[in-house]
Every structure is written in structure tokens, then in C-alpha cells.
Amino acid sequence: MITRAVVVPHPPLLVPELVAGAAAETESVRAATLAAAGKLPGPWVAVAVDDGGRATYVPPMSGSFLGYGVDLPVSLGGDLAPDARIPLPVLITAWLRERCAVEVSRVELVPPDLPVSDCVSFGQQLASEDAGLLVLGDGSTRHGPRSPGSDDERSGPFDSSVHTLLATADVDGLLGLGLELARELGAQGRAAWQVLAGVPGPWRCSSAEFFAPFGVGYHVAVWERP
């Protein structure tokens, strides 16, 4: 049974080698992410959103951040040659795994438009896993003029609501997040958070933080059973 889950973001800026000129500005989200992941017992089952759609990645497997500017190899386990086709959420899972010294059972990727009912069903399927659940997903990409997307005044209330829902372990509230609004705000984490909400509780949140460097929202939270 899954007894603990950790929500983290998965941007390239978590990796200091990829943001050498902005390592200090991104240190707070990096430190919070590593601290939360360090509280998750292994083996990990990771769930993340990727535009490539439904896929499962299992070790042994290795990749590299070469596509993001630095040939930094990471591994889900084993010593295979890096595969350049591995998506970013899998690379970040591998990067976190190496720093937390745990095993990863697999990484499950879901599409950003996965319906709420399918998210819930997937969460229910994961409930019996004897593992820690790592949930990777980013918030809105439209926080202010520095954001990758154009500024959208709805992004602040949206991510503020997500932060509150994660901080209170409000599964019904998370399941109420609108797919269309999340898409418009670039918040791809919506589907991953709703998979978490589909894992039967009860749950309590022991910590929750929110960051928005460079105009993108990043949520970090730790859920456990009371």
C-alpha cells in the first residue's frame, strides 16, 4: 500500500549544471524538491505528465540532459548507455533518485489531457503498490512578464488554489480542477495531481510550498497517511 506521496516539479532548472547563471535564484525550489523527495521511501513509483502520451519507463535505463544544453548523464538504475529519447520527467526522476539513493520501480507518464475519471482510475490502480509515490508536475507557465507564456491574471489564483488544496490534502478539490483552465494556463501538472487524488486516503499533508521563479509555478508537498 502507498503510505506516502511527494509532489514535486520537474523543470530543467532543478539541475544546477543547466542553470549555471541562475543557480542561486533557483536554489529555493531545488532545495525544497530534494528535501521532499528525500522523505519518500523507496522503491519509487513515479507519475508525471508528458506531451508524448501514455508510456512506462523501467530500469535499467539511462539518459542525458544533452538536449537541455549539458551532457549530464543520469540513470534510473543500471549502467546502460544514455538514451537520448528519454522525456524530461523521467530524466528528473533519475536525477532525484541518484541524489536520494533510492530505487525506482518505474515511471508512468500520462497525457496532459487525461480525463479526470481516468486519473482517478489510475490512482486507484496504484493504491496497492508497496512503494513511495513520486508525483511530478508543474503549475502555470503564465505568472507575470518573465513567464514563458504571456502573462495571465488567472495564473495567480489558480496556483494559489492548488497550493491550498495540496496543503490541506483536499482530494475533492484537486479533482475539481478544470482541464480546460489548466491547459490555458500551461499547468500540465493537473493530470498528475489528479492521479494522486485518485489514490484512496485518508491523507494528511505534512508540508507544502510554492515557488514561481521566472514566471512558472512549482509546487512541492508531502502527503502521508494519518
What's the pLDDT at 201?
Answer: 94
What's the pLDDT at 106?
Answer: 98
Fold of the domain built from segment(s) 4-224: Protocatechuate 4,5-dioxygenase; Chain B (3.40.830)
Task: Return the ∠ at Cα 118 (arms to 112 and 123), rounded to 5°.
Answer: 95
Integer Cα distance of 226 and 210 in angstroms: 23
Rg (CA), the chain: 16
Crossing angle (nearest 10°) for helices 155-167 and 189-198: 20
**CA-based torsion, 193, 10, 78, 109: positive or negative:** positive
Q: List the chain pLDDT tens, one digit each, 226 residues.
A: 999 999 999 999 999 999 987 878 899 999 999 999 999 999 999 999 999 999 999 999 999 999 999 999 999 999 898 888 899 999 999 999 999 999 999 999 999 999 999 999 999 999 999 999 999 999 999 999 889 988 999 999 999 999 999 999 999 999 999 999 999 999 999 999 999 999 999 999 999 999 999 999 999 999 999 9
Q: What are phi and psi of 95, to 5 degrees?
A: -60, -45
What's the pLDDT at 24?
Answer: 83
pLDDT tens-place string over residues 80-110? 988 888 999 999 999 999 999 999 999 999 9
- C-alpha cell read off for 211: 515557488
- C-alpha cell read off for 212: 514561481
What's the pLDDT at 158?
Answer: 98
CB 16: neighbour CB atoms within 10 A? 15
Integer Cα distance of 56 and 213 in angstroms: 30
What's the pLDDT at 171?
Answer: 98
